[in-house]
Amino acid sequence: MEYKLTTPVTPADLAPLRAGDTVLLSGTVYTARDAAHKRMMELLDAGKELPFPVEGSALYYVGPTPERPGQVIGSAGPTTSGRMDAYSPRLLDLGQAIMIGKGARNQAVKDAVVRNGAVYLAALGGAGALMAESVEELEVICWEDLGCEAVRRLEVKNFPLTVILDAHGGDLYQSGPAAYLESLK
């Protein structure tokens, strides 16, 4: 199935999604990788606000290449999400609804996805030029000192994504290869 979604989203918006579905995502997406996640945790530990409204938000794990003059964004494919596993459950419990990256997540993240009615979506790893095509606006909103790891606000249109973890415990990284191997029998 293919779904069109616009951020911010609610658990009701995400409930129909199943592992293997395609999502064309529009609206605001925030970028954060390892260093930005670490700083977000420090803000939360100090009782401070996050740099963006977390309820129903989408976070994209990406460190784009620098944009050329006249370009909105450089190449912008996903980084490996597993490095954010230590931080994601806390953000999901605060209302973050969509994680975008690539690669496997641990059990704590899978549990937090189900607990909160969230989803984990894959962007195409290694397809930085293609993923950049859907980005219409970019603004660095904080921690500019982190360079490619600074938090950016992106406005995206029909950003092509694949559902990996759905709110019902589905995991495409398990079910996809299993279904293919089953088809050979």
Partner 1 sequence: MRTVTAAAITDAVAELCIRANTQLPPDVAAALDRRRQEEPWPLARQTLDLLWDNVELAQSRCVPICQDTGMACIFVELGQEVHIEGNFEDAIHEGVRRGYGEGYLRKSIVGDPLRRVNTEDNTPAAITVRIVPGDGFKLTVAPKGFGSENMSRLGMLKPADGVEGVKKFVVETARLAGPNPCPPIILGIGVGGSFDKVAALAKHALLRPLDVPNPDPFYAALEAELLEEINALGIGPQGFGGQTTCLGLAIEAAPTHVAGLPVAVNVSCHVTRRASAEL
Under rule CB under 8 A, residue 170 binds partner 1? no
Token pair recorded at residue 100: 């975008």
Residue 157 phi/psi, 5-degree rounding, is -130, 125
Q: State yes or no: residue 172 binds partner 1 (CB under 8 A).
A: yes
Closer residue to partner 1, CB minimum distance, 56 or 81? 81
- Nearer of residues 47 and 180 to partner 1, judged by Cβ: 180
CA 10 to CA 87: how far, in whole Å?
A: 21
Question: Which of 28, 127, 143, 157 lies at the binding interface for partner 1 (CB under 8 A)?
Answer: 127
| 102: DSSP letter | B
Q: Smaller CB distance to partner 1: residue 11 or 85?
A: 85
Q: Which residues, listed in sequence order, are joined to residue 100 by a DSSP beta bridge? A: 60, 121
Which one, 54 or 151, has the nearer CB to partner 1?
A: 151
168 three-state secondary structure:
coil
Residues 6+ apart with CB under 8 A from 96: 54, 57, 58, 59, 88, 118
Tell me which residue of 7, 2, 10 sits closest to 26, measured CA to CA: 7
Residues 23-62 that bind partner 1 (CB under 8 A): 62
Q: Is 68 in the site for partner 1 (CB under 8 A)?
A: yes
22-31 and 135-142 as β-strands: parallel, antiparallel, unpaired?
unpaired
Closest separation in Å from C-beta 26 to partner 1: 18
52 backbone dihedrals φ, ψ, rounded to 5°: -150, 160
Q: Is 76 in the site for partner 1 (CB under 8 A)?
A: yes
Among 9, 17, 77, 100, binds partner 1 (CB under 8 A): 77
Site residues, partner 1 (CB under 8 A): 20, 62-68, 71, 74-77, 79-80, 82, 102-104, 122, 124-130, 132-133, 147-148, 160, 162, 172-173, 175-181, 183
